[in-house]
Structure 1
């Protein structure tokens, strides 16, 4: 018996929702630090094929991360207003379907890694998979699981260095640390939205751990992220275009303070979504600096 096209379309829509392809902010927050690593490791001239492979790999791994996150939280999401209608939480997608989807996404991402024929990159990809798959469970016991998320979301940086240079320079690890602080900042804004529900069901988040200091800690983390990125840029000699981009990112962080200072959930969520422009500003500075160095604007 064949399956109708309408039924197939319905399943595909549910899988897209499970992977959050209809909400690309997660992909973008994973993509920007990966692009920082690609451009800096190649000193502004990454191979176009390497760039496209990493972009596709980012989409696949972020999608896989969403699936495993919902699998881990399938008994909690029905009790949270914002997540109760997700495919797994609502019972529209089965656990078995989600597991098959997760495995398929991971295998596709791993196939991309094999194209580089690099044992270093393969090893880093295994570590990245472990981080992505284990992060959802850290919310059970870590006081600040957002720090773990920052490592998972920033692991594309050392992978980019490994893919293009065959080794990981120290600057890559400093950039990864910068991403950890940035992730704590934006994901605390995200956690501030669900604070009441998370307290009720026993999930740990940085918004709960920081308590009344949450706004101050978010701003400190933005400052640390900007400082570390700036230190790496200074060490490798980036020019004024980069610093202009970093200044824009600092302005965006300052704007976020005006959004989160009253802890209004809707405005906190707006700040979280707005972090796309923080990451984009840093990348724009890096990319424009490389174009200026190559005389593109002469």
Structure 2
């Protein structure tokens, strides 16, 4: 009998060929949905690139990539442990391994510890300042799954968490902390709130029935305009970060491609089309790449 597969997997054929336990662990860690790892990785990669050290510290980019995969997966396991009852009441998530009862809590906790061990290996590769900043994020990460029960804007908390790599990567690459890192981080926070609002449009009806709060529900019919404002704010803060590194109007032109891409996401966004919302959300891996190229160009020239 084929193992159950969650609806939004991106590698259904591969997952279907695995044993039931392997399939469940792959889905639990979201290895079959790598978009989250990409989104966690990009802010750190931007910071490394904007310091001008991307080529010299290519190894650091690889360590951050591994850390992004491990810690995003660990976060997903922890989130599913905490949200198992809520997930069972939402159509898109009720097939998740813990919510459906296919993976027990002891197995999930053991898997979580194994993923955290990989994250610890990555942490030990960083200088002390970067290590301290990374450890400071633990409280934010631990609190995130509870935010949807407390605030209408859990996406804002996710923005703080998913952008944290920018604050870690800057001193890891340069050995110091600069204002540009904070500007890059703040812009990333708004970007995350924007794309996760798009993601939340998929579940807006089920979330209302389950009592789950989200920015998509808070904004309602104004979701498109809200995302547009968030993306505009992100671009302004990123422009300030690039200017802090290279005060030259030409440097700001590097943001042109990512600005056009974010504009495309907003222009065709529809509140009543979950499939399109998922497609536009996943497109942010390319937005992240375009922003990385902008930071690489400016950081190299600075």
Tell me by how many angstroms 1:269 deviates: 1.6
- Of 58, 66, 75, which aligns to 1:65? 75
SS of the residue aligned with 1:194?
helix
- Of 193, 206, 212, which aligns to 1:203? 212
Instruction: Output the TM-score relative to the length of structure 1.
Output: 0.89
Distance of aligned partners of 1:195 and 1:33 in 2 relative to their CA distance in 1, 3 Å threshold: same
Instruction: Output the TM-score relative to the length of structure 2.
Output: 0.88
Tell me by how many angstroms 1:121 deviates: 2.3
Equivalenced residue count is: 286
Distance of aligned partners of 1:241 and 1:103 in 2 relative to their CA distance in 1, 3 Å threshold: farther
Does structure 2 retain, via aligned residues, the 8 Å contact 1:241–1:285?
no
Does structure 2 retain, via aligned residues, the 8 Å contact 1:207–1:214?
yes
Does structure 2 retain, via aligned residues, the 8 Å contact 1:239–1:289?
no
Q: Residue 5 of structure 1 corresponds to which residue in structure 2?
A: none
**After the TM superposition, which parts of structure 1 deviate over 6 Å for at least 4 consecutive aligned residues?**
238-241
Residue 91 (structure 2) pairs with residue 81 (structure 1)? yes
Q: Residue 274 of structure 2 corresponds to which residue in structure 1?
A: 265
Distance of aligned partners of 1:43 and 1:234 in 2 relative to their CA distance in 1, 3 Å threshold: farther
Q: Residue 8 of structure 2 corresponds to which residue in structure 1?
A: none
Could you tell me how far apart the structure 1 residues matched to 2:37 and 2:44 are? 11
User: What runs of 5+ residues in structure 1 fail to find an aligned partner?
Assistant: 1-7
Does structure 1 retain, via aligned residues, the 8 Å contact 2:50–2:245?
no
Could you tell me how far apart the structure 2 residues matched to 1:241 and 1:66 are? 40
Could you tell me how far apart the structure 1 residues matched to 2:32 and 2:251 are? 31
Q: Residue 7 of structure 2 corresponds to which residue in structure 1?
A: none
Tell me by how many angstroms 1:43 deviates: 4.7
Distance of aligned partners of 1:71 and 1:58 in 2 relative to their CA distance in 1, 3 Å threshold: same
Does structure 2 retain, via aligned residues, the 8 Å contact 1:110–1:125?
no
Residues 1-298 of structure 1 aligned to structure 2 (within 5 Å): 9-118=19-128, 120-237=129-246, 243-290=252-299, 293=301
Greater Cα offset, 247-256 or 14-23? 247-256
Greater Cα offset, 242-251 or 219-228? 242-251
SS of the residue aligned with 2:150?
coil
Tell me by how many angstroms 1:211 deviates: 2.1
| Root-mean-square deviation (Å) | 2.2
Tell me by how many angstroms 1:244 deviates: 4.6
